[in-house]
Structure 1
Amino acid sequence: MTETASPRAPTLTHRLEYAVTRLMVGALRLVGWRTASWVGGRIARLAYWPLGIRRGVTTRQIAAAFPERSPAEVDDIAARSYESFGRTTFETAILPGTSREEIIARIERVEGWDLLEKALAGGQGLIIVTGHLGNWEFGGSYLAARGIALDAVARGMANPIFEDYVNHTRHQIGMEVIHDRDAVRRTPRSLRANRAVAFVSDHDALGLASTFVPFFGRPAKTPRGPAVFALRFGAPVLFMVVVRQPGGRYALFIEPVEIASTGDREADVDAIVLRFTQMLEAKIREYPDQYFWQHRRWRRQPPDTPPHLREP
């Protein structure tokens, strides 16, 4: 089930970007995981201030999601959100080459692991949904390190050389990648083989079948693939997030997503998408500074969305 190499021809810019990235990763490995994480956080804070990269998008969305927060509180959450994303980026960059034992040791607390084992014992495969909260990339690596047969549905990267490198290292850990363009074809195969298939399901994309569900009270376009596959193949669905703890290590939370079949397939799909979106929102409310607010989550909405619920 190994993913084939990207067919796109790399450009000179791609090769230079890859070379610089590999040099940076090599240097970060020398200083260790905790220091690399700290450096990533410090650098990312510069993107918030003084550079101001997507600062307006970030603060507007946080203020819309948490109208009870003061401007100072919104600024604080935004700055820490940049720091969290920087730490996640650098932690992920040095993940290749990390031993399974080291990966497992970076989780200090796991809640719901028995749910995952029970789901796979049913033999129908497993669908995992998560969001851009905490370190979502590490979550997949942790499952693979613990011996879970896992396929991750992911969008293609702009740089094909770096994409091949990342996918190769994922494969070394034990995780396979399904490009979103191939999900319809490959996900059924994975479920029949009793593998877990993971979806990051809080960012919309053109061309993906989606539905609109409330996210912090505003309609947000959300992929419906996980719900469709669950109903079609009888696979259980679990919601999972990995969030950073005060000491720098992570906590892994796994919760079941209720699946109900009423005979109205469209309504059932929408209900499942709503459930896991609500579960993600609940976790974001606990860890608002670890969400990727820099993405325009409400960019695409139904045309009849009331003005007060449109993209902030």
Structure 2
Amino acid sequence: MKIKRGDIEGSLSDYIQSLALRGLFGTMRLLPFSLRLKLVGFVVSRIISPLAGYGERVRENLALVMPDLPEKEIKRLMRSVPASVGRTFAEIYSGADFKAHAKNAKITGAGIKDLEQAKERGQGVIFVSGHFGNYDVPRAVLSERGFKMGALYKPFTNPFFNAYNCKAISEISEPIFASKDRSDLAKMLRFLKSGGMMGILIDIHTSGAPHLDFFGKQAATATSAADMALKYGLALVPVYGIRHSDHGDYELVIEPPIPHSTAIEMTQALNDSIERQARAYMDQYFWVHRRWKAETRNRSNQ
């Protein structure tokens, strides 16, 4: 059964699911910010994670890349990692409230001067990060400092919830571009070439992509960010948002731009950068997602 609300059309089940999720996140936003993060982190870690198998996925990934990790630490991460993931989504769906807390983040790293110079020259920048900490901290902080910050997002299959998601992430900064919309991708390129700045997460298994080192194992890694940087003369800058507490205490790490060489070499440098941050803050890396799939696991074991 189809249902239409405004310009959005989808199934009745999509609509009901969207209402439930919007109700959850809407109720969440009534709570004080720190309590909101704690509560959502607890629910994801203690209720959703056991049902969805997130803890076992954490164990599986750690067994692959850190086989000597003590069992006590593995069990701790099986709880703390899903909690951190929950906090990240609680922050993102807090929209403007999250931005108000994050905008005063401490900025560290040797790349801030390079970034300011790129802004002065009108040079576009591709920020690269991973599923780590809160990857929207850079957008929240830098948009407040006058940088032209856009966002690339993957649309949800549920059209009603996708509209809600777009509204929430737009509260942090605009413009936003859909990754599966060719018209939006063309607009994104124009935005970058006009001096805009965009963030991309590259630690996603991409079938057919080059197999590069990540935590000592082969991981299929798309080189699209480096390809664009080379083709259009854009700076390629690793950035990270680290959460230090549930009270809006964040750190924005801006590393120096990756020197232009080849797409493979630049992407490997990005993988190495993400790995360094993940090792430093193990709880904040998204060990729940399938970074190493069957084809790369088999290749790594050969």
Question: Which bin holds the TM-score, normalised by the shorter protein?
Answer: 0.7 to 0.9
Secondary structure of 1:297's aligned partner: coil
Displacement after TM superposition at 1:241 (Å): 0.7
- 2:49 and 2:82 in contact (8 A); partners too: no
Secondary structure of 1:9's aligned partner: strand
Aligned position for 1:73? 73
Deviates more, 1:176-185 or 1:116-125: 176-185
Deviates more, 1:41-50 or 1:223-232: 41-50
Displacement after TM superposition at 1:71 (Å): 1.4
- 1:221 and 1:300 in contact (8 A); partners too: no
Displacement after TM superposition at 1:283 (Å): 0.3
Aligned position for 1:278? 272
Describe how 1:55-134 pairs up with structure 2 within 5 A. Answer: 55-95=55-95, 97-98=96-97, 101-105=100-104, 107-111=105-109, 112-134=111-133
Aligned position for 1:219? 218
- 2:204 and 2:291 in contact (8 A); partners too: yes
User: Are the structure 2 counterparts of residues 303 and 19 from structure 1 closer, same or farther at C-alpha, using a change threshold of 3 Å?
Assistant: closer
- 1:47 and 1:82 in contact (8 A); partners too: no
The reply to whether residue 30 of structure 1 matches residue 30 of structure 2 is yes
Separation in 1, partners of 2:65, 2:298 = 20
Separation in 2, partners of 1:81, 1:75 = 10
Describe how 1:165-176 pairs up with structure 2 within 5 A. Answer: 165-176=164-175
Separation in 2, partners of 1:53, 1:302 = 21
Aligned position for 2:4? none
User: Are the structure 2 counterparts of residues 101 and 234 from structure 1 closer, same or farther at C-alpha, using a change threshold of 3 Å?
Assistant: same
Aligned partner letter, 2:255: E
Aligned partner letter, 2:272: Q
What RMSD, in angstroms, separates the aligned Cα atoms of the two structures? Answer: 2.6
User: Are the structure 2 counterparts of residues 72 and 48 from structure 1 closer, same or farther at C-alpha, using a change threshold of 3 Å?
Assistant: farther
Displacement after TM superposition at 1:304 (Å): 7.4
Separation in 2, partners of 1:149, 1:14 = 34
Displacement after TM superposition at 1:231 (Å): 0.6
1:141-185 per-position Cα deviation (integer Å, ceiling 9, x unaligned): 332233321222222212222222222343344322222233753
Displacement after TM superposition at 1:297 (Å): 0.5
User: Are the structure 2 counterparts of residues 31 and 259 from structure 1 closer, same or farther at C-alpha, using a change threshold of 3 Å?
Assistant: same
- 2:137 and 2:252 in contact (8 A); partners too: no
User: Are the structure 2 counterparts of residues 61 and 94 from structure 1 closer, same or farther at C-alpha, using a change threshold of 3 Å?
Assistant: same
Separation in 1, partners of 2:14, 2:78 = 31
Aligned partner letter, 2:223: R
Separation in 2, partners of 1:302, 1:87 = 30
- 1:219 and 1:301 in contact (8 A); partners too: no
Separation in 1, partners of 2:83, 2:98 = 26
Describe how 1:158-169 pairs up with structure 2 within 5 A. Answer: 158-169=157-168
1:78-97 per-position Cα deviation (integer Å, ceiling 9, x unaligned): 211011011111122222x4
Deviates more, 1:297-306 or 1:191-200: 297-306
Displacement after TM superposition at 1:101 (Å): 4.2
Deviates more, 1:8-17 or 1:287-296: 8-17
Displacement after TM superposition at 1:190 (Å): 1.6
Separation in 1, partners of 2:238, 2:285 = 16
Separation in 1, partners of 2:279, 2:204 = 18
Aligned position for 1:189? 190
Deviates more, 1:64-73 or 1:76-85: 64-73
1:47-104 per-position Cα deviation (integer Å, ceiling 9, x unaligned): 4775462332210212322233111111112211011011111122222x42854441
Separation in 2, partners of 1:178, 1:216 = 31
Aligned position for 1:290? 284
Q: Which runs of 5+ in 2 are unaligned?
A: 1-6
Separation in 2, partners of 1:169, 1:45 = 23
Describe how 1:233-248 pairs up with structure 2 within 5 A. Answer: 233-246=232-245, 248=247
Aligned partner letter, 1:218: K
Separation in 1, partners of 2:136, 2:215 = 24
Deviates more, 1:216-225 or 1:65-74: 65-74
